[in-house]
Amino acid sequence: MAYWYTVISLMCINTILAWSVYSSFMTGTVSLGQAGFFAIGAFASASLTAIYGWHIVPATMMGAVAAAIVGLAIAIPTLRLKGLYLTIATVAFVEVIRVVFHNIKYGRDGEFAIDASSADARQMPWIGPDGPLGFRHIIYLTEHHITPGEYAMWLVLLVIAFGVYFWVLERSRLGFAMRAVEEDEIAAQGVGLSHNFLKVFAFAIGAAIAGVAGSLYAHLLTFITGDDFNIPLTVMMLAYVVIGGGQTFWGPILGALIFTLLPEIARETKEFRLELFGIAMLATMVFRQHGLITRDMVRRAETRIKTAFTGRNTIGPDEPGAPAPNPTKK
Partner 1 sequence: MTRAEPQDMLSAVAVTKAFGAHLALDNLSLAVTKGGVIGLIGPNGSGKTTLFNAITGIHSPTSGSLHFAGRDITGRASERIAQLGIARTFQNLKVFRRLTVFDNVLGAQNSASDMTMWQMLFSVRRNETPRRDRVEHILERVGLTDRRHALAQDLPLGEQRRLELARALAREPELLLLDEPAGGMTPQETDTMAELIHDVAEAGPTVFLIEHKMGMVMRLCRHIVVLNFGRKIAEGTPKQVQSDAAVREAYLGSVARHA
**Closest CB to partner 1 among residues 122, 329:** 329
303: Cα separation from own chain's centroid: 29
> Which residue in the set 143, 183, 264, 302 belongs to the binding site for partner 1 (CB under 8 A)?
183
User: Residue 166 CB, nearest distance to partner 1 (Å)?
Assistant: 11
* 207 near partner 1, judged by CB under 8 A: no
**Closest CB to partner 1 among residues 116, 191:** 191
Distance CA 329, CA 315 (A): 13
CB atoms within 10 A of CB 247: 22
**Closest CB to partner 1 among residues 182, 228:** 182
136 beta partners: 128
> Which residue in the set 62, 74, 152, 180 belongs to the binding site for partner 1 (CB under 8 A)?
180
Q: Which of 74, 41, 24 is nearest to 241 (CA)?
A: 24
* 321 near partner 1, judged by CB under 8 A: yes
Cα dihedral 117, 118, 119, 123 sign = negative
User: Residue 189 CB, nearest distance to partner 1 (Å)?
Assistant: 4
Q: How many residues bind partner 1 (CB under 8 A)?
A: 32
**How is residue 320 annotated by DSSP?**
T
* 184 near partner 1, judged by CB under 8 A: yes
**Closest CB to partner 1 among residues 131, 190:** 190
DSSP 183-233: H-HHHHHHTT--HHHHHHHHHHHHHHHHHHHHHHHHHHHS-B-GGGS-HHH
* 117 near partner 1, judged by CB under 8 A: no
Distances (CA, A) of 147 to 63, 81, 153, 239: 22, 45, 10, 31
User: Residue 169 CB, nearest distance to partner 1 (Å)?
Assistant: 7
* 187 near partner 1, judged by CB under 8 A: yes
* 192 near partner 1, judged by CB under 8 A: yes
Distance CA 165, CA 183 (A): 22
DSSP 96-121: HHHHHHHH-B--EE------TTSHHH
* 172 near partner 1, judged by CB under 8 A: yes
In the shown chain, the binding pattern of residues 285 to 304 toward partner 1, with x for contact by CB under 8 A and - for none, equals ----------x---------
**Closest CB to partner 1 among residues 147, 310:** 310
**Closest CB to partner 1 among residues 55, 171:** 171
In the shown chain, the binding pattern of residues 225 to 264 toward partner 1, with x for contact by CB under 8 A and - for none, equals ----------------------x-----------------
Q: Which of 130, 87, 82 is nearest to 105 (CA)?
A: 130
Q: Which of 200, 212, 236, 229 is nearest to 97 (CA)?
A: 229
> Which residue in the set 82, 122, 145, 173 belongs to the binding site for partner 1 (CB under 8 A)?
173
Cα radius of gyration rounded to whole Å, the chain? 22
User: Residue 167 CB, nearest distance to partner 1 (Å)?
Assistant: 10
Distance CA 176, CA 158 (A): 24
For partner 1, the binding residues (CB under 8 A) are 168-169, 171-174, 176-177, 179-180, 183-184, 186-195, 201, 247, 295, 321-323, 325-326, 328-329
